[in-house]
Each structure stands twice: as structure tokens, then as C-alpha cells.
Amino acid sequence: MKTLVANFSKQLTEAIAIGKNAKLSASQNKISNVLICGLGGSGIGGSVVAELVVGNANVPINVTKGYFIPSYVNENTLVIISSYSGNTEETLNCMNLAIAKNAKIVGITSGGKVLEMSKAKGFDHIVVPGGMPPRSCLGYSLTQLFFVLGFHKIINTNYESELEAAVKLIDSEENNIIAEATTIAEKLKGKIPVIYATTYNEGIAIRFRQQLNENSKILCWHHIVPEMNHNELVGWTEKNDNLSVLFFLDKDDYSRNIARVDINKEIIKKYASGITEIYSKGNSIIEKAIYFIHLGDWISVALGELRGVDLMEVNVINHLKSKLSEL
């Protein structure tokens, strides 16, 4: 896992090349909405991208992380099936439902049934390298989502140049990122992390939570400002030295959210064992997101090493899948 995280920028570079060479076809119908289907490491890219493009996407983009699709899906819907293995049962069920609705389908996968079905039915598909844990391949799936949305003129940002700039950013910052990740991991050892971010950065917070779950083998939770100001903030009433709070912050964030975070920190510091502020770097929202993702991945690796756990194993997930296969 450590090697896979270290190679993230190389993965992004390869993913950009794959996206540029993707063979996609225009939809016969005007696209009125987009649905991204995927779970876990395959699905988190959808959550991140949907938030990053919300300011310029010309149709609604939704993400589903389960067995079913919304009733609005029809021949005017672009359905992106994101399954790294190609065999995620929930995503396959969504794919079959989307086929029945005559949606425009694009698959992003390394193989499996998604690739088989896509080839058999003539659906557009982008194949990414396989054989790795899905959570370590976010660079592949996230990048392809930009290219698919760009091809269908759903977004009009300079996503390609911004992705390339993100590669340069994390390469230039790699040593600093690892050093910061190590320091933060030491603060988190023996604690339950509470992760906070602001609007449109929830995908980043979820990704970090998932990496702490799978790589570091710990429980944690996340919430978003300002929503948590209307509920969770009230729960901070008792001193708990087991809780360590992390804020994912951006100096260019909306001024009201910046003010909210400052007030939140004043309240929370009385009850948590500590507060860590993590600031983004980069000139665009894509660069900042990639930076946050990479830093979070390194934190999860460093914390896993401090805890002496096997970063790669996910035996409980394999057990779950095995039990489900018996039904």
C-alpha cells in the first residue's frame, strides 16, 4: 500500500493518457442528467467529482451507492458505471436497471462482468489497469469521470490541464506531504478521529474516513460545515480525550464558512484532545482536491504503520462477500 500511495502521481499521469485515448460515442439523445454508480474505492471518485464540478456542470449529477437507481433515469440519462473489479454486485444491479431504462451507459472498470456486458452490448467503456486494491486506484476512476463528463459537454472546465498541474503539485510537495502526514498520524495514534470539512469537500472527508478504516484499521466519523452547526455541534458537551479533530480547510473558502470554522474550533477545543488544521494547496479546486486526497492517503499509511497493522488486508470485507455469495 505504501508503494501504491507513493506512485499516485504516476497513476494520475497514466490515467490522463487513458482518458485522452478513450473511445467514446455521442449520446443519441440529449443528456438531461448524470448518474454515477459505484461503491467504496470505485465510488468515491463520483462523490468527489460531482462536488468539484457543481459550479459549472450544465445538468444535475447524482451519485448512487447501492443496488438501485432513481426513477428519473431514462434515455436522457448518462449513467456511468464505476466498478474497479467489474464485479461489484450492487453496481451490476444498477447497470442492469439502467439498461432496462435505455440510459446512455459508460463503464469504467479493469474487467469483470462490467467489461463483459459493455462489450456484448456495445456500451462505451474505459479500461483501467487491474490487480490492485480498488481504494489505491482512485486516480484512475476519478480522472476518467472528468474525461467522460468533458466528452459529453457536461462540464467545460480546463480539467485536463488542472489534473496535469495537480500531478506537478504533489510531485513537488511529496516530501512535505509525507512529513506532515507523519506528524498528523502521531497525533491520531490511540485516538478516534473526527473529520470536518466545508461544503463541496465532503467527498474528500469521506475518502479520508474510508482510508483510515481500510488502511489504518480504525473507526472514525466525519461531518460538514455548515450542516454540523445545526446538529452535531450541540453534541460537544463533555471532555473526551479519545477524540481528535481534523479540519480540512481552504483559505479561499466562503467567508461565512471560514467564520463558522473559527467559532467551531473555539467550542470544540474545550472537549477534544486536540484540533489539527489541514490546509489545501494548489491553484484550482482539482489541484486542491488531489492534494487533500494524497495527504489523507499518506496519513492513513503512517497511522497504520504506527499501529502495526497490515495495511493491505481487508479480510472482513472478503468474509462478507463470501457469505453473500452463499445466499
DSSP 8-class letter at 214: I
Task: Catalytic residue, from 214, 222, 287, 294: name it.
Answer: 214
Sign of torsion, CA 108 109 113 115?
Answer: positive
Task: Catalytic residue, from 168, 269, 319, 321: name it.
Answer: 321
- In 3D space, the residue among 174, 218, 165, 172 whose CA is nearest the CA of residue 195 turns out to be 218
* C-alpha to C-alpha distance for 235 and 201, rounded to whole angstroms: 22
Task: Catalytic residue, from 20, 23, 30, 230: name it.
Answer: 230
125 is catalytic: no
Burial status of residue 240 (CB atoms within 10 A of its CB: 0-12, 13-18, 19 or more): middle
223 is catalytic: no
Sheet with 272-279: list strands edge to edge. Answer: 221-225, 192-198, 240-249, 272-279
180 is catalytic: no
Angle (deg, nearest 10), helices 40-52 and 202-211 = 160
* C-alpha to C-alpha distance for 140 and 118, rounded to whole angstroms: 18
Which are the catalytic amino acids? 214, 230, 321
